[in-house]
Amino acid sequence: MAINNLKTRLFAAFKGPVSVSLQRPSEILEPPCTRWILLRGPAIGSPSHRGTLLVEAKSILSWAQAHAKGVWSSDADRQSARERLPHWIEEAIEEDESVTIPSAELLDVLQPYDEDFIEKATVRLWCPDCLLTHSRVTRGSRADQLIGKSSLWVSEWRCPEGHLVHSESNEIRWIIR
């Protein structure tokens, strides 16, 4: 008898189906976008980057919109981040000059295009050697080698003063039939 009374009291307030949000926590907790987005650097665990690369949010908005429509991933988290990115940038607080550190999911979408952003967007590079922020990045490569069916080279970014801020080894293996 006591169990039935308890059930009656527990479920008395129930008035229909429960609404469940299917949003992932990262969608809810995404930091607000400011004018500058941290793309690469020691602060976010980029081991090959001594300097810090920032990209101006509004300068990549049209890219983010086209990317969300034109690129697809079978990874649901990555695709969700790709589709969220233009909306996140549209809401950027342009007057806020502070730097936003995006979620790991958004960084996964942005970082493969860092070279494109250096070429086509508004960027800022902080150099730890001259302790200055620059609006230009000098890109280069060295030690191009063709070894058998592999091409090897080192990509470098330098500040305008010539200080090395990023160095990364690259390899392409050619499959020739």
Give 56's strand partners: 36
Residue-wise pLDDT for 13-22, tens only, equals: 434 443 333 4
Question: What are the residue ranges spanned by the domains of the chain?
Answer: 24-136
The share of the chain scoring above pLDDT 90, in percent, equals 58
Residue-wise pLDDT for 85-118, tens only, equals: 999 999 999 999 999 999 999 999 999 999 999 9
- H-helix or E-strand spanning residue 169: strand 164-173
Q: Would you tell me how many other CB atoms lie within 10 Å of the CB of residue 122?
A: 15
Residue-wise pLDDT for 38-70, tens only, equals: 999 999 988 889 999 999 999 999 999 999 999
| Banded model confidence at residue 2, pLDDT cuts 50, 70, 90 | low
Q: What is the pLDDT of residue 111?
A: 94
| Banded model confidence at residue 125, pLDDT cuts 50, 70, 90 | very high
Q: Find, among 64, 58, 17, 56, the residue nearest to 39 by Cα.
A: 56
